[in-house]
Structure 1
Amino acid sequence: MTQSAARASSALPAAIRRPIPRLARAGAALHTFVARGHLWGVAAVTAATALLQGAFEVQQYHRFRLGAYDLVIFDQAIRNYAHGHPPVSMFKNVHDAAQVAPDYTQPFSILGDHFSPILALLAPLYWIWNNPQVLLLAQAVLFALAVPSVWAFSRRALLRIAPPRSAAVGAYLVSATFGLCWPLQEATQAGFHEVAFFVPLSALMIERYQARKLGHAVACAVALLFVKEDMGYVVAAFGLLLLVTRRINGDPLDRAERRRYRIIGACLGAGGVAFAMAVLHLWIPAFGGRVGFYWYYGQLGPDMLGALKTVVTDPGTAYQVATQPEVKINTLYFLFWPYLYLSLASPLCLLAVPLLAERLFSDKPEHWTLDQHYNAFLAAILIMAAVDGLIRVVRGLSRVRPLRRLGSMPRFGLLVGARPWAAVAWPALILLFAVVITHTFPIRSVVNADQWTADSLTTAEAAATAVIPSGVCVEADDDIATHLSSRDQVILLDQVPRGCPWVVLQTAEPSYPLNDILSAVRRGDWLRENGYQLVFDQAKVYVYHQGPASITQSHGTAASIEKLGQENGNSG
C-alpha cells in the first residue's frame, strides 16, 4: 500500500472502518465451511442425519410404536401455544393430579411440570401442520443442527496433530459417528422431548468455547437455561470449566483473557445454581407444581442439602447408590467405550458430571437404562470431549522422552508419523463401532423394508382411529392416543374410568399403564358391563362407545366429561 493510500485509509471515519473486521468475525464460522470447500460436505452429513432420524420417527409413528407419554403431552401443550393459550395438556392434567399443588385451581400447565419455555419456539409449526409428527420431524432437524458444530470443533482440534486434509476427513468421520450414535437413536425412539433443543445448543456452546468466542458460548449457556430446570447445573459446570481453563485448543490464554474467563466462570457457576433453585422453588409452584414431585434421591436425603451432606460425609453410601444396581455401570460403559474412554481425558467432560450425577443417584429405574432419551443429553458433550481427549493423549505421548527416542529408530519410525495417522484412524474406528452398535438398536429398522409395511395389528389400530369421530373425548391406548391427539380430547386409558364416550383399547400386546393383557381384558369387561357398546373389533383392537342416553347411568360420567371440557377448554 502506498503512503497516500495508507493516509486515505486512516482518514476514513471510525464508523466506516470498524464494521469491516466485525463482519469478518461474524462470518468466521461460515468461512470455515465455504472458503475451504466444505459447505456442501457438512450440509450433506447434516441432511443425512436429519433424514435418518426423521425417517425413524415417522416409521415408529405409523407403526403405532410411539407412546402418548410424553408425545401427546407436548403435542397438546405446544398446540395451545400456537393458539395463544397457556401450555395446558389435558393428558397431563388428568393423569398427574398428584403433581398439582392442593390449592391450585387452574388447569395444570406444563410450565408447572418442567421449566421449558423454549418449546414455544415450535408453536408456529402447528400453523403449517396440525399433527404430532411435526414435533418428531422438528426434533430430527434439531439433532442434525448439531452436526456443523461437531464438524467445526473436530476439524479445529485435529489440525493440531494433522494436516488440513486429514483433519477434514477426520472431522467428517466424527460428524457421521455423532449422527449415528445410539443416544440419539434411543431419544428418537422415545418420541419428542426437550432434549431436542439441548443437543444443538450444547454442541454450539462447546464449539464457540473452543473458537475462543466467549460471548457466543455464554449466550448458548444462557439459552440452555430455558430448556429445562436442571440445565442450571450444566451452566454451572460450564462456569467451572471457564474457571479452570488455562489453554484452549493448545493456545494459552493471556492475563486479561484469563481474568475475564474467571469472572464470567464464577458468574455462570453461581448464577446457574441460583437459577435452577429459583425455578424449582418459585417458578414451578407459581404454575401449580409441587416442589418435591421429581425428587428421586431419597436414598441420599430428603432434599438437596441433605443429599449433598450425604455425598460429602458418607462417600461410601454415595458410591453404593451410584453403582447399584449393575445396570448403571452398564449404561456408563456404553456411553464411554465407543469412544475408547477418551472423553475422560478432556476437561469438557465436566459438563457431563451434573447430567450423570442426577441419573446415577436417582432411584427412578428409567434414569439408569439405555432405552430412554436421557442419554441424548450427553451425545454432543461426550463425542466432542473424546476428540479433545484424543488430541491431549496423542500430544502427551509424543512428549514422552522414551517414546520419542523409540520413534527415532528406523524400525519404529511409524511412531514419528502417528499423529496425523491418528486423526483419521481413531474417527474411522469409532464410526465402525457406531455402525456395529446400530445393529443392536431399533434404528436398524429404517433399512428393513418389512418394517415399512403394516402388519395386522397396525392395520387394525389405524382402522380403529378412523371409527372415532373428531372433536370427542376419548380414552385411548398409549400407542393409539398419539394418532388421535390432533383432532380429539385424548386422555390415557388406565384402570380408572374417566367417563369419555369413546374408548379404544387393544389386548394384542401389553401397553402402558395396563402392563399386562389381563388388565386390558378386564377393562373391556368393565366397559361392557357399564353400558358401552362394542363398535369395532379387529385383530384384538376394540372401540367402545357409550351413547348420551346411557352416559348418565354410569357413575355420573356425563358430569365428569363436562368438567374435563370446562377445565381443559384450551387443550386443543
Structure 2
Amino acid sequence: MPSSEATLPWTLAAVFFALYAALSIRLHQRLLTTGYDLGIFEQAVRSYAHGHLPVSALKGPGFNLLGDHFSPVLATLAPFYRLFPSPLTLLVAQAALLAVAVVPLSRWAYRSHGRAAALVVGIGHGLSWGIASTVGFDFHAVCFAVPLLALSVTALGNGRPRAAAAWALPLLLVKEDLGLTVMLIGGYIAWRGSRRLGLATAAAGLAGTLLEMFVLIPAFNPGNGYAYSGSITGGGRSDSALLDLLHLPVDLITPQTKVITLLVLLAPTAFMALRSPLVLLVLPTIGWRFVSENQAYWGTDHHYSAVLIPIVFGAFVHSLGRWAPGTSPQDRRTLRSGLAVSGAVTLLLVPGFPLSRLAEPATWQTAPRAAAAHRVMDRIPDGATVAASNRLVPQLTDRCTVTLFGFHGVPLTADWIVVDTEAPMGFPLSARDEAHALDRARDDGFRTVTQDDGFLLLHRSAP
C-alpha cells in the first residue's frame, strides 16, 4: 500500500477529530450543552461506570435508560469515564467515533479512484452537515453507528459480505431502529450472491428491532411500552388504515422540509449516489422519520441524519466506478467533474451548520457569566440532589444527582435548585412559568443561598 494511501485517511481523521472535539468542548465550556441530551447520556454512562444499569434521574426517578432507547453500546464508555469522570469524556469519544468513519471511505476512494477522490470523499464526509449537526448538539449514542456503517458499506462496495455483516450486526446494540438498516444490508448481501449469509443477516436485523422495541424496552420500562412507536409507524392521519396507506407517498415528501433534507443529503455527492444501490440503505431511517408526526425528525438539525452520511458517501464512491469505470479521457473528465461538484457543494453548505462556529470569535471567548455560573454551582456539595436549568445540568451530572427543574411529571425531590433567571432557555418552562415554579419552591421551604449575574441558587430549609 502506498504510504499516502495509508496515511491520508488517518490524517483526515485526525484533523476532523481535532475540529469536532474543539467545537464540542467549547460549547460545553460556554454553557451551551444541555441536560437533554448530554446530561441524560452522562448519567447512563456514569451508572455503567459504577457497575449499575444505566439509570437517568433526568428521565424520572430510577428511570432505566434501556427502557427509553436500547443502546447498551454506551457501556463501552464506562472504563474511560471511570478514569475521567466528566461530560467531556463523552464529547471527546463522540468526536473520535465520528472522525474515524472517514478512514474506510477515503481509503476505498483512494484505491478505486486515486488521491483526489480520497480527499473529496474524506473532506466531504468530515464536513458534512449531518456530522456537523451531531457535533453541534451534545452527545448521542448514534455516534457509534457512523463508523460501523462506514465500515459495513465499504465492505459491501468491495464485495466482502462477511465483513459487511460483521460490521453491521453491532448496530443492534446502538439503537433499536437500526436493525431495519441491518435488514437491508442483509438483503443487499443476499442479492449480491451470498444468499444464506444475507438472509441470516436480514433476519437478525428484523428480529433484533422487533425484540428490542416490543420485548426488551418494555421490560425495562414496565407499563409504558415502547414510547416511540409513532416514530416508526407514523401517528396516523385518520381512523382508516387504508386512507393512511394511500396518503403515505404524499406524507413522505410534504411538507417541503422533507424535500430539502433529501436534496442536501444527496447534493454533496453531486446526486451520483443515486446511481448506486447502496443508497437504498437510507430508506429505513428516512422512512420512520418522514412518516412521523414529530417535525423535529424531518429537517437537518440535531443528530438524526448522522447515520445517513456514511451511506450516501459510500454510495458516492461506488457510483464513481459505475459513472467513470475506465481510464479513458472521457472517464477521467467525468470523474473530475463529479468530484468538483461534490467538493463545491460541501463547501457551500458548511456555513449553514455548526462547524462554521469554529471560525467565529465568540466560540473562543468565554462570557463572564460562565464564571458566575460556576461560582454559584461551586456552592453545591458533591453528591447533592439538584434540580437545574437545562444548560446547567451537564455542568453538574459528573458529581451530583441532577434533575431538570420544572420538568413535567418529575417531582421536585432535590435539596438544591440552580437556575439561570437572566437567560432562560425556555425548556421545559417558559420564563414566566419558571418564575411561578420558583415561587412555589420558596413556599415549600427553599431559601436563596446566593445569586450572581442572574444565576440563582436555592437550598431546601430543614423542617
The TM-score bracket by the shorter chain reads over 0.9
Summarize the alignment of residues 235-384 of structure 1 with structure 2, pairs less than 5 Å apart.
Answer: 235-245=182-192, 258=193, 261-289=194-222, 290-296=224-230, 297-300=233-236, 310=242, 315-384=245-314
1:217 aligns with 2:164: yes
SS of residue matched to 1:494:
coil
CA distance in 2, matches of 1:385, 1:478: 39
CA distance in 2, matches of 1:86, 1:51: 32
Q: CA deviation at 1:298?
A: 4.6
TM-score scaled by structure 1? 0.76
1:51 aligns with 2:23: no
Q: In the alignment, what sits opposite 1:566?
A: none
- The structure whose Rg is larger is 1
Q: CA deviation at 1:279?
A: 1.7
Q: CA deviation at 1:432?
A: 3.0
Q: CA deviation at 1:315?
A: 4.8
TM-score scaled by structure 2? 0.92
CA distance in 1, matches of 2:407, 2:43: 22
The one-letter amino acid of 2:298's match is: W
Q: In the alignment, what sits opposite 2:95?
A: 140
Summarize the alignment of residues 435-454 of structure 1 with structure 2, pairs less than 5 Å apart.
Answer: 435-454=347-366
SS of residue matched to 1:93:
coil
Q: CA deviation at 1:442?
A: 2.4
SS of residue matched to 1:124:
helix
CA distance in 2, matches of 1:511, 1:74: 20
1:433 aligns with 2:345: yes
CA distance in 1, matches of 2:456, 2:39: 21
Q: CA deviation at 1:387?
A: 2.4
The one-letter amino acid of 2:321's match is: I
Q: Percent identity?
A: 29
Q: Which of 109, 115, 119 does residue 154 from structure 1 map onto?
A: 109
CA distance in 2, matches of 1:89, 1:393: 50
CA distance in 2, matches of 1:435, 1:112: 40
CA deviation vs aligned residue, 1:49-108 (integer Å, no higher than 9, x gap): 1111111110111111111112111111111111111111222233xxxxxxxxxxxx43
The answer (yes or no) to whether the contact 1:152–1:207 under 8 Å persists in 2 is: no
Q: CA deviation at 1:204?
A: 0.4
Unaligned runs of 5+ in 2: none
- Structure 1 ranges of 4+ moved more than 6 A: none
The one-letter amino acid of 2:43's match is: Q
CA distance in 2, matches of 1:416, 1:211: 22
Q: In the alignment, what sits opposite 1:83?
A: 50
**CA RMSD of the aligned region, Å?**
2.3
The one-letter amino acid of 1:75's match is: E
1:494 aligns with 2:413: no
Shift of the 284–439 alpha-carbon distance from structure 1 to 2, 3 Å rule, reads same
CA distance in 1, matches of 2:297, 2:219: 27
Which deviates more from structure 2 when the two are superposed, residues 126-135 or residues 264-273?
264-273
Unaligned runs of 5+ in 1: 1-31, 95-106, 159-166, 246-257, 399-414, 550-572
Q: CA deviation at 1:331?
A: 1.6
Q: Which of 134, 141, 164 does residue 187 from structure 1 map onto?
A: 134
Question: What is the total number of aligned residue pairs between the two structures?
Answer: 458
Q: In the alignment, what sits opposite 1:64?
A: 31
CA distance in 1, matches of 2:180, 2:51: 31
CA distance in 2, matches of 1:354, 1:336: 16
CA distance in 2, matches of 1:477, 1:426: 48
CA distance in 1, matches of 2:212, 2:40: 21
CA distance in 2, matches of 1:279, 1:292: 9
CA distance in 2, matches of 1:67, 1:495: 14
Which deviates more from structure 2 when the two are superposed, residues 199-208 or residues 459-468?
459-468
Q: In the alignment, what sits opposite 1:533?
A: 447
CA distance in 1, matches of 2:336, 2:259: 30
